[in-house]
Chain A
Amino acid sequence: MSVEPRTLDMEGTGRALLEGAPVLVGLPGDLEVNDQLFRPVWERTRRGWLALFGICMGMTGLLFTAIVYTFARGIGAWGNNIPVAWAFDIINFVWWIGIGHAGTLISAILLLFQQKWRTSINRFAEAMTLFAVMQAGIFPLVHLGRPWFFFWLFPYPSTLGLWPNFKSPLLWDVFAVSTYFTVSLLFWYVGLLPDLAALRDTSKSKAARVVYGIFSLGWRGSARHWRHYRVAYLLLAGLATPLVLSVHTIVSFDFAVSQLPGWHTTIFPPYFVAGAIFSGFAMVLTLMIPARKVLGLEHVITDRHLDNMAKVLLATGLMVSYGYATEHFIAWYSGNKLEAFAFFNTRPRGPYAPIYWLMLTCNVLVPQILWWKRARGSVWLLWIVSLLVNVGMWTERFVIIVTSLHRDFLPSSWAMYRPTWVDWSIFTGTIGFFGLLFLLFLRFVPSVAASEVKELRRELQHEEHARSQPPRAAAPAHGR
């Protein structure tokens, strides 16, 4: 086994180390890494956690109350009408699913590109994906009107003798979102196995040992496990990468395949994917900045991570801005009166104009501050920017859906949409439910992948070692 060729291969890390702050502050031992990252799991429940948990529990209660109310009264309990038949349900669906995409991007795409800085944040981001997709799924399900017949969406040999219409983008959505959730869950769980085993082995109580023992499936860190595990993990990342792009492409088809001005554009798939990653990175920052402070993970999730995420935020923000520009350009260039009316009258001057201008401010103007290194280095500023981007991306979906629908082709069909208390309750309820799941995640599972940090630490050590010594021609293969 020779060490040198591998360390020379790792130009990515070497360059990264020269460029900025380290991806890991100090090189603590494996045991220290373990202790630090597992502390949130083993320590006693904190008061702050309990308080937040209570709040989120209350919001989740509101969510389920509003859902039960909707089931009892029907969709009429919402503000939806004709022509605005899609409103909060689809806005929130697209918003949540977009948030989820950053998790897959961080864990899968950055893994394939061998970006070392992903290691400390991938677990966190994947959990966010999973929980965000769960929130997203609630909306179309409830919007079915008769959700107890949800299985009609799937092709099963029913007594009706009917099959679903596979030419409908809404059915593509069913397959895309359910596949996305399944693959995200598998990827996250497989990634967790080594840490669950470490939790089993560091547990003090019998109960914890049994529970983590069951969930770690008997992981022994055997060379035979790792051999299949590494390939499986890499392949799942390779599959998740085109999957995440396809999911938001298909979500955008829900709109782009229709004939409605404001929806019927070919820029939608790439623009939606960029928007999804933009909002997802914003949400990762929103959650991670407080979490790393509270959990004391600043040496693992370093300023370097925040800086990199801010750069991704800026880049995807520019892509989204380009999407807006293209939409408006095509509306003018096509010479289509209805397109031009939608983009140059309804949006900037119609009754929902403030939301349109808020969208442009949050998504186009605000991220520009991230060109400055000092802005990216300021935790508070970054957190505020990330919140504004979350708001901006929600308003973007509002503009696309409600603003495009409320001015129908004939002025006699125009109508306004106003969300009811049920709409608001379900929306805020999902935020609470998301928070609830996230708090449970932070409490019961290490939020940073300890096994991967240990591996990264070892690689960085090798690199340090290689830099301090000029590379030898060939390391002797011992024992041969």
Chain B
Amino acid sequence: MATSWVLAEFETEVGLCAALRRLRDLGHRRLDAHSPYPLHGVDEALGLRRSPVPLIALLFGVTGAVSGYLMQWWMNGVDFPINVANRTPHSPPTNIPITFELGILFAAVAIVLGLFALAGFPRTYHPVFEAEPFRTASVNALWLSAEVDPEQAEPLERELEKLGGLRITRVAEEGRR
């Protein structure tokens, strides 16, 4: 099914948030806001929930630290104990640094991969990039985007105009036939 992307620029954060709220009230769900820096209030206007990234970080950080410790215990204490000057093969204090480092490493890698997965990266092509004016979204302009069925695009454009949207643009995406 083909879909259309309707894009509109807004001059202020307040205007953008108000428009998002209005469109949500009208029943539109596939909405998004685009800006060169994070905006305040947009998450609420879009009804986005809290990011799960902290949970991912915690889970993987703990996994890294635990597996790091177990690795050292098993390798030096169980599988191949090396006797160096009669020191105990398994010595917890000497295992702290690597346990800590592996905890950090796992958490950091998981955060970045989690970000990629949640944001859908890498995805270098997206229909909104077809609209030339939309290129200002990463530079200096605030944009609203809505994914709608082609027959809804026309009324949506009129609504956006009423809400103060500028440079309203439509991108038609040809879907599966």
Contacts and interface: CB of A to CB of B under 8 A. Distances in A.
Are A and B genuine complex partners? yes
Nearest to B97: A172
Contact of B48 (A183, A227, A246): A227
A34 interface: yes
A186 interface: yes
A194 interface: yes
Interface magnitude class on chain B? 35 or more
Interface in B47-87: 48, 51, 53-54, 57, 61, 71-72, 75-76, 79-80, 82, 84, 87
Contact of B54 (A6, A165, A198, A235): A235
B161 interface: no
Interface string A205-223: 0000000011011111111
B23 to A, nearest CB: 11
Interface residues of A, number: 69
Interface string B109-146: 10110111011111111101100000111111000010
Nearest to A243: B104
Contacts of A230: 38
Interface in A176-233: 176, 178-179, 182-183, 186-187, 189-190, 194, 197-198, 200-202, 213-214, 216-232
A229 B37 CA distance: 11
A182 B138 contact: no
B79 A163 contact: yes
A238 to B, nearest CB: 9
A454 B36 contact: yes
A33 B76 CA distance: 55
A220 B126 contact: yes
A455 B39 CA distance: 9
B98 interface: yes
A452 interface: yes
Given A222-B32, A232-B115, A235-B57, A31 B108 contact: no
B8 interface: no
A74 B110 CA distance: 40
B3 interface: no
Given A228-B51, A454-B37, A201 B104 contact: no
Q: Is the interface of B mostly helix, strand, loop or mixed?
A: helix
B34 interface: yes
A175 to B, nearest CB: 4
A474 interface: no
Given A1-B14, A167-B94, A190-B115, A223 B105 contact: no
Nearest to A253: B97
B100 A246 contact: yes
10 contacts: A179-B105, A182-B105, A194-B36, A198-B139, A217-B121, A221-B35, A222-B34, A232-B53, A232-B114, A239-B111
Given A239-B57, A239-B111, A478-B17, 19 more contacts: A155-B71, A162-B80, A179-B101, A179-B102, A183-B105, A186-B109, A187-B108, A200-B138, A219-B138, A220-B126, A223-B34, A224-B32, A227-B43, A231-B51, A231-B54, A232-B114, A232-B115, A242-B100, A243-B101
